[in-house]
Amino acid sequence: MPLLRLAYATQFLVALMAVFVLWSQVGGQGHLDLIPWHIKLLLGSGAAFCVVKATLAAVTGERAWNGRTLRWVGILLVVLTGCGLASYYVHLYDEDDEDQQDESAASLIAPHELRTGMGALLAGPAREMTGAAPARRASGDAANPLGRAGLRLAR
């Protein structure tokens, strides 16, 4: 019996690693990093526990796929669905905050260059402060902001 307990403890650790690898591959590592640690702890260890309990039910029953095994597999699917919902929640609500902060900071620095693509390196007020001469516009540059770089838009 002690050898069987050691096997179940080892299976729990392997299942714990497998759950987090699966979660990061399916839900995305970026989303998994944003989930609070206590939610990851509960869902990850719960899923690994369900794997061990399903194995225990399969070993102790007459047949491998008995009622207790199917019950633990069903509970495992519910816990894994919770993992997916946690990743989806982070995708919807936590990730957009960082994008808005980066975008607003960039628009404060140089709003004209962000709208036109490859505009002048210095915006209007910055040119006045540094004394730089305004860049000349080539013909058709208003319609093609890439014209200064020698690129043409496909028509």
**122: confidence class by pLDDT, cuts 50, 70, 90:** very low
**Mean pLDDT value across residues 130-152:** 56
**130: confidence class by pLDDT, cuts 50, 70, 90:** low
Pick the more confident residue, 140 or 63: 63
Is the pLDDT at 19 greater than 60, yes or no?
A: yes
Please, are residues 153 and 146 in contact by the beta-carbon 8 Å criterion? yes
The 3-state DSSP class for residue 1 equals coil
Question: What's the pLDDT tens digit per position in 21-71?
Answer: 999 999 999 999 999 999 999 999 999 999 999 999 999 999 999 999 999
Cα(69)–Cα(61) distance, integer angstroms: 9
Q: What is the residue-averaged pLDDT of the chain?
A: 79
Neighbours of 80 (CB within 10 A): 18
pLDDT value of position 2: 87
**Mean pLDDT value across residues 12-24:** 96
Contacts of 77 (CB under 8 A, 6+ apart): none
